Structure formats: C-alpha cells, structure tokens
Amino acid sequence: MSERVKITIDGKEAWVEPETTILEAARTLGIDVPTLCHNPALEPYGACRMCTVEIVGKGWSQLVTSCNYPIRREMEVLTASDRVVRGRRMLVELLLARCPDAPLFQEMAARYGVGRPRFETQQADLCYLCGLCVRVCHERVGAKAISFVGRGVEREVATPFFKISEACIACGACEFICPTGAIKVSDITDKPIRPLPLEFDMGLRGRGNIYIPFPQAVPNVPVIDRAHCLYFQAGTCRTCEEFCPPHAIDYSQEDEFLDVDVGAVVVATGFDPFDARDKPEFGYGRYRTVISGLEFERLASASGPTQGKIKIDGKVPQDIVFVHCVGSRDKQQGGEYCSRICCMYTAKQAHLAHDKIPGSNITVFYMDVRAFGKGFEEFYDRVRAEGITYRRGNPSEIYRRGDRLVVRAEDTLLGRTVEVEADLVVLATGVQPRADAAEVASMLSLERGEDGFFQELHPELRPVDTKRRGIFLAGTVQSPKDIPDTVAQAKAAAAGVIVELSKLRRKAE
Amino acid sequence: MKVDTQEFAKEYTLLECIQCGRCTGGCPVSLKTSLNIRSIIYECLIEDTVDPSRLDVLWDCTNCLTCTIRCPKDIHPADVIIGLRGYIVGEGRGLPPRVRDALKSAFTRGNTLGYATEGRNGWVEGLDFEVPNVLDAGETDLLYYIGCTPAYDPRIQPVTRALATVFRRAGIDFATMGVDEQCCGNEIRRMGEADGFQGLVEGFHEMRREFKAQRMVAVSPHCFNAFKNEYGEMPFPVYHYTQMMADLLEQGRLKLPGEVRAKVTYHDPCFLGKHNGIYDEPRYILQRIPGVEFQDLDRSRERSVCCEGGGGRMWAEGTNIKDRLAHQRVRDAISMGAEVLAVACPFCLLTLEDAVKTLGLDSQLRVMDIMELVQKAM
C-alpha cells in the first residue's frame, strides 16, 4: 500500500490514499462540495466547474475542479472561501441564463442568492452540456448511441447525423441520469420503451433492475432482475457495484437447490388475486380509473406509490364506486366459492376513502354483505353510519361518458336500473388458487379440491392435516380466508408440527 | 293463461338464482322500458303461477344475450323470455299482430317477411354469372345459405350479391338451395314458436340429405347462430361470412387492390359477438381494407350495445318506440369522428341506417355492411 498523504480541508485534517480526488477527500470529511457533472459511477469530467475549490500555498492560491484534481502532496484546501463562492455565484448566474426553465438552477439561484441573470437568457433549453448522458451511454451502457456534436455555441448532445439511433437499446440511462430532464429516450430511438413496474405496488410505480421487492421482504435485501440487467444481458454497466459501500453486490451468485431432511412440512403458498381482465364488462385494463382491490390497497398505503394519497394521474376522485364479488360466486369466471375477504376489505377501503377524501361520495354495490367475523357487523354498521351508501345489486357493466365512468346496475331493492357516474371504480377482486398450485400439489403428492385449493384431511375435524402424514396446510392455500383465520390455522399447523416432531424424537430415543 | 312456476323454474334452473341483478343491470332495454328479467325470475320463484299474457314487456327483449353472459350462476334469462313467449304463442292471446303475421308467413311461404316463395332467388338479379342450385347439382363445396332478409330486402340484396361475387372470384365451388331454401327459424324460435321451429329444422335436415356439401356459410349472424347452435348435429361445419372472408384474406385468395378512405368503426352484432364469440374476424377484415382508419367504439365486443333488431324485434315494436338504442349507437359513432359505421348483420344494417335517417345525420355517417366495404376495395 502506498504512503498516505495528509490533506487539510477547511481546517479539518485527513490522511488519504494518494490519487484520491479532493472531492472524495472532502466527502470523507463530511464536507459538502456542490457538483453538477459528477457521478461516482463515471470517470471524473470537470466540465461544469461547480465543484471548484481553492488550493492555498505559501503566498499563492489556485482554483481547481475538485472532482478530478488528485491529491499528490500535502495540501490545504478551502471549499467555501470568498473566491470560491464568488466563482460559484457567477457559474449559477451563467447556468440560469442558459437554462432559465430548469428547476435545478432556479433552486441553486435561490440558494446562492442569485437574482435575474445579467446575461441574455436562452429559451426552452434544458441541456447545459454536463455530458452525464453521453458518458453513461459510453462508459456504462456501452451502446455509444449519443455524443457531443458541434463546437462552441453549436455544441449539443445528439445521435450520429441526427438520425433515429440503431445503436440505442432504449435502456433509459440517459433520461434517468439527466439532472434537468433535457433528454428523452423517445427522441433517440423508436424502439419500444419498456417500463419496469414494481410488482408489489401493482405496477402503480416503476422500479430499477436492482431493487428490494417490498419493505417487508424476507430476506430484506435487493435482488437483480437478470432478464433486464445490463450486466447479465450485455456484460456492461455494473453501476450498482460502484455505489454499494460495503461491496455486497456479487454478480456470480447463482440460485441454489438445497436438499433438506425435515420431520414436517407446512404448505403456506398463499393465493393469486383474481385478474379482473377476465371480466371484460368492467373495462379493467382499459380504463385507468377502474382498479382492483389490491391496487386500491397500495394507493391507500403510506408506503405505497402515492404515500397514501388516493389519486390517479394526479387527480383525487370525488365519486367512488366499489363493486363486490368480482371473480367470486361466479360460475362463468373466477371461482364458484365466496372469497370471504372482499366484503370486509371493501368496507375498510370505503372507510379509508371516506376518511382520506373529505366530501367524497362513496357507493358500494353488493349482493349480500357477509360480515361474519368478530366485530365485523359492528364495523359494517359504522361504515354505513359514516354516510357510505350501500346499494343492493351487482353491477353488470362499466363504460365511459365524457371523462367519467358510468357504473350500470340494477338496484334490486328499487327494482330499477341505475347509471351511477364515478371518477374511480374499485373492483373487489376475489381470491384464486395460485397459478402453480397443480405443480406444488404433485410435488408433495397432495390432493386439491374441485375449486383448486389444497384438500384438507377432513373439513371439520382435521382442517390443517393432509392425507400425507407430516404435511400441514396453513392459510389461503387451503381455502380463501382472512388474517385472523389464517393466523389461527397457522398456529394449528404449528401445533401439528410439534406433535409430529415429538413423536419422531421419542421414536429415535 | 297460467304458467305453473314450479315446473317452469325447474326446467330453467331458476332455483339457483341469487337475485344479484346482473341480468337486468346489463339489459340494454331495461333503461328504456320496464322489462326486468330479474324480477320476472323472482316472480317465477315466489308465485305459484304467472300469467305471461299480462307481461307486455316480454316483447321488449331483443335476445341480445347480455343477461346470460353476465349471469354468475349460469342461468339463461334470455331463454326464460323465450319460454314465457312460448305460452303466449301457444294460446295465441296477446300475441302482437306483426309477430303473428311473421310466424304465419314463415310456415306458409318459407320466409318471415310475407313475400312470395318463388321470389327467394330475386337477389341474383344484376350478377353477371349463374348461381348454381345445389339440389340440381347434388354436390358442392360450399352451401351458401341466404336467409329471408338477405334474399328479399332490397337494402340487403347487394350484400348478398357481394358475397357471391367474392366466392366466384376466389374460385370457390358454391351453390344455394334456390327457391327451396326455407327460413332458418332463429327469430321464429325466439318469438316463442318452438314447435314451428322444430318443423323447420326437420325440413332442412330432410332436404340436405339430397345433396353433399363440405361446409356452409350464412349472410346473417342470426341464421348462422341457428344452424350452428340449434339445428342439432350438422353434417358440415357452419360459418358466418366474416370468418370465411378473414380466412380468404389471410390466405391471399381475396385481394383488395382498391382503397376505401374513411374513418370506420364497427358495431358488434349480438348474434355474432355475444352469442358466438366472433369479435376478431370482422375487425381483421376492416383493418385489411386499404385506406380504412379503424377505431373501436368505447362500448364494443362483450360490452357492445344491441341495436334492438334481434329476438323478433324486427316484428315486435316493444313498449317504448320513442327511445331507440340504435340512436345512441349512431350518436356514439359520430362523436368519435367515424364516417362509416360498419356492421356484419342485416338487422343491424337496417336498424342503424333507420336511426341515421330518423336523426337526419345522413351527411355525417354511413351505415355499411362489411361486405359493401370489401366490394368497394375489390
């Protein structure tokens, strides 16, 4: 290891590796130096001059860009001297004159006390030639689809001959990294842009190629989406590796199959939500404001895509309709059975909507309300007392009138067909066996009922056991059920496991 | 007139009904008349007897099948209407006069329209080739079933001729049953005349033993539906013409060198779409016509709205003749900027064109059969 070098920044001392840049050294000391064209994943560039600092010697001083100035000898650096700050203010003024519409520079101008630029301002330009897009495309993506063209005031970012790029892979790195929103993938290529939806948030927001699936994920670590990761697909990028301080990214990890000897197995593989696209009369997948119960759940969640604010495309709905029994109690689509959770989750969601959107008008269309659990009927009473309208009749279709939705139903108590206009319709989508249930059942040699859920040994007396000794069922794998019932069954399954294991131990002794 | 509801409810599996209201909620005429099939079913479940002759609204139903495809318990409410109409037809009391005339004409003249039997071949006038008769030839590849309205109605005859022209150009060996062709009975059955319908079915099967055919095609989705679903075992596959046109286009046997420059939308006929699930073929044909700018109506496919031409409604006016669903359909087409509203059914063509004329919107929208558009591009 080479000799460390001492550096003094704003009076603070540090020993750093030679060739460390002043910027890196300052950041290890917790000193904030503003940057615009710097990105740790890219080679230092020194284009924007925002990171300029002052090196002070005996009787001399020099302004340098800290992002690409390596420390070679003991040096003293000032990051906020009068000279530095004066220079920065001038820079901000010039940048604001170039890109007066860029919020980034408007914020910087406010921070550095810069008013209206004294220079002639340009219109509708957001690019300030930091080169982040060009560099990420060349250094990380490797596509080299864009570069700088022209000289002096003509300089700009463009594709070769200003033509739609063949080389571009539509990864979106340029658009992602651009600090001012100046570059759009759709200007570079006509290849389809494939958004990556975050599955846990029902696609209501996007995700990266490396991401933590959801806040309560076990284990709670990021995963790499190999089908889209540039490194796995093209051998390039490796940016995440650069950003991870403890160097935890390991591209060589592979799926492992483990053989484990066990005395008991609990099958708790859960359910799939009904896909409302299978009931085309409701226009789900066609109208953005027709959503599933699970999507509403994410919209109403504080950790969801809207931080718990119920809005779609920025609009807060005023008239909301909930539709019961979508994919449940239905011989034609979904299951013939009652999904058991939708009545109460709809009541809860109607309550949440009422709570979060004051003055909203909420209608719930139902066939029967099955509020059978402890405290459920009381909750159903409370929700109606809040002013939420329950109308008996299951809607038959949803269509558009202007920019609103129309829910068409018969109010069977009135014996009259009604058209209820709405800004948002929430479909109480039911519970289905998992798509891979047949595979799992055959792997474990278990039986499934006619409805597709796993078969318990006896519907009344052995509700968690299966025909195979030592294999137990818990939760919605066995039938639709709510959280209290799932917890109760899970505890019963755990008790079954303990009995099984103690028998095995006694036999061994 | 009394219907024993216990027997009736069993026959139509009404005991499974949970009164959810999806049938009436989706029923296109329930917004304009007091027809409420859910409450009729309820009456059949609760009362000992019902009297269909006091239910004027039974004749409002178009048999579009929305109620049936929406029913979560797989009950067939549209068949309940047919069943109840059957009692009225059986006794004759309360039968709308035009329905009575149509039924009578179907049995005496072989067509529902009151025209002379000998005129059934009149549609061939203007063709520059002979259309062979399968009963003379004894054998054909394709049996071309014309149907009453396509044979007699001057507005539909060009569609019937266009189809024959395409078959000829594609080199398909086809023939018709000429003046011996009988009404298919689809509408007869749906007006409640079950026995008469059975007579037509038997008549057809008897006649088709006299010739051989590989396949059969119908102009109207109504005839197509009857032969495909209600004629028992058929000796050859039955197609609607849109299925054949789509195939011919795909195989390159039908070429469309011409152009139809127009913004076109499409109205799904109930007997093609909801009854038989044929949604893609008509759209495929329209999108293959050069110059056509195709756009779907908001309410399309499974959510399409009936034109009120089915279920005997070409003869029975129903209880509300002021408000017509076809008017709304035409306004919807115009508001989306369509210049042509394409259909693939003679009844849809007549009802929708009637709506355009009544509303005085001839200058804005044309109603055309898909075959008319195809012919323009040929």
Residue A1 pLDDT exceeds 60: no
Our CA-based measurement puts residue B222 at a distance from the nearest CA of chain A, in whole angstroms, of: 23
Report chain A residues whose CB lies below 8 A from the CB of B70.
Answer: 281, 396-397
Our CA-based measurement puts residue A272 at a distance from the nearest CA of chain B, in whole angstroms, of: 20
Q: Is the Cβ–Cβ distance between A412 and B21 less than 8 Å?
A: yes
Residue A22 pLDDT exceeds 60: yes
pLDDT band for A356, please (50, 70, 90 cuts).
Answer: very high
Structure confidence at residue A371 (pLDDT): 96
- Closest Cα in chain B to A411: B21
- The residue type at B134: V
Q: Across the interface, which of B25, B39, B299 has its CB nearest the CB of A409? A: B25
Structure confidence at residue A2 (pLDDT): 65
Q: Is the Cβ–Cβ distance between B113 and B120 less than 8 Å?
A: no
Interval B315-362: pLDDT, tens: 998 999 899 999 999 999 999 999 999 999 999 999 999 999 999 999
Provide the token pair at B225. 């539906």
Q: Is the Cβ–Cβ distance between A393 and B20 less than 8 Å?
A: yes
> A394 CB near a chain B CB, below 8 Å?
yes
Our CA-based measurement puts residue B48 at a distance from the nearest CA of chain A, in whole angstroms, of: 21
- Alpha-carbon distance B293 to B263, whole Å? 5
Structure confidence at residue A301 (pLDDT): 95
Distances (CA, A) of B321 to A428, B83, B96, B253, B312: 38, 24, 14, 45, 15
- Alpha-carbon distance B375 to B322, whole Å? 35
- Alpha-carbon distance B114 to B104, whole Å? 9
Interval B180-205: pLDDT, tens: 999 999 999 999 999 999 999 999 99
pLDDT band for A173, please (50, 70, 90 cuts).
Answer: very high
- Alpha-carbon distance B61 to B48, whole Å? 24
- Alpha-carbon distance B30 to B320, whole Å? 11
Structure confidence at residue A72 (pLDDT): 80
Our CA-based measurement puts residue A192 at a distance from the nearest CA of chain B, in whole angstroms, of: 22
Residue B128 pLDDT exceeds 80: yes
Report chain B residues whose CB lies below 8 A from the CB of A331.
Answer: 72-74
Our CA-based measurement puts residue B298 at a distance from the nearest CA of chain A, in whole angstroms, of: 7
> A331 CB near a chain B CB, below 8 Å?
yes
Residue A347 pLDDT exceeds 80: yes
Which residues fall within 8 angstroms of residue A507, CB to CB, at 6 or more apart? none
Interval A203-258: pLDDT, tens: 888 898 999 999 889 999 999 999 999 999 989 999 999 889 899 999 999 989 99
Angle of helix B346-358 versus helix B325-335 axis, rounded to 10: 80
For range B103-124, the mean pLDDT: 95
Structure confidence at residue A73 (pLDDT): 81
- Alpha-carbon distance A146 to A177, whole Å? 14
pTM of the model: 0.88
The share of chain A scoring above pLDDT 90, in percent, equals 82
Q: What angle do CA A240, A243, A247 make, to 5 degrees?
A: 85
CB-side neighbour CA atoms (13 Å) of B185: 23
Question: What is the secondary structure of A335-376 as a DSSP string?
Answer: -SS--SSHHHHHHHHHHHHHHHSTT-EEEEEES-----STTH
Which residues fall within 8 angstroms of residue A243, CB to CB, at 6 or more apart? A40, A41
- Alpha-carbon distance B224 to B345, whole Å? 10
- The residue type at A228: H
Q: How far is CA A12 from the centre of its chain?
A: 40
Residue A123 pLDDT exceeds 80: no
Candidates B42, B303, B325, B329: best to mutate against A (most CBs of A within 10 A) is B303
- In whole numbers, what is the pLDDT of chain A averaged over residues? 93
- Alpha-carbon distance A154 to A408, whole Å? 59
Report chain B residues whose CB lies below 8 A from the CB of A277.
Answer: none
Distances (CA, A) of A311 to A38, A307, A407, A428: 36, 10, 19, 18
Residue A387 pLDDT exceeds 60: yes
> B320 CB near a chain A CB, below 8 Å?
no
Interval A272-318: pLDDT, tens: 999 999 999 999 999 999 999 999 999 999 999 999 999 998 999 99
Q: What angle do CA B322, A410, B83 make, to 5 degrees?
A: 75
Which residues fall within 8 angstroms of residue A347, CB to CB, at 6 or more apart? A364, A369, A371, A379, A380, A383
Residue A125 pLDDT exceeds 70: yes
Domains present along chain A, CATH in parentheses: 5-80 (3.10.20.740), 132-187 (no CATH), 209-243 (no CATH), 275-429 (3.50.50.60), 433-508 (no CATH)
Interval A433-455: pLDDT, tens: 999 999 999 999 999 999 999 99
Q: Which residues make beta-bridge pairs with B262?
A: B292
> B295 CB near a chain A CB, below 8 Å?
no
- Alpha-carbon distance B251 to B248, whole Å? 5
Report chain A residues whose CB lies below 8 A from the CB of B74.
Answer: 331-332
- In whole numbers, what is the pLDDT of chain B averaged over residues? 96
Is A124 in a helix, a strand, or coil? Answer: coil
pLDDT band for A122, please (50, 70, 90 cuts).
Answer: confident
Contact B303 A411 (CB under 8 A): no
Interval A416-432: pLDDT, tens: 999 999 999 999 999 99
> A503 CB near a chain B CB, below 8 Å?
no
Structure confidence at residue A272 (pLDDT): 96
Structure confidence at residue A58 (pLDDT): 86
The share of chain A scoring above pLDDT 70, in percent, equals 100
Instruction: Report strand pairing: B174-175 vs B139-145.
Output: parallel
Q: Which residues make beta-bridge pairs with A424?
A: A320
Our CA-based measurement puts residue B304 at a distance from the nearest CA of chain A, in whole angstroms, of: 9
> A397 CB near a chain B CB, below 8 Å?
yes
Provide the token pair at A118. 């004294």
Which residues fall within 8 angstroms of residue A492, CB to CB, at 6 or more apart? A463, A464, A474
Q: What angle do CA A13, A17, A22 make, to 5 degrees?
A: 60
Is A479 in a helix, a strand, or coil? Answer: coil
Report chain B residues whose CB lies below 8 A from the CB of A409.
Answer: 21, 25
Structure confidence at residue B94 (pLDDT): 81
Q: Is the Cβ–Cβ distance between B297 and B265 less than 8 Å?
A: yes
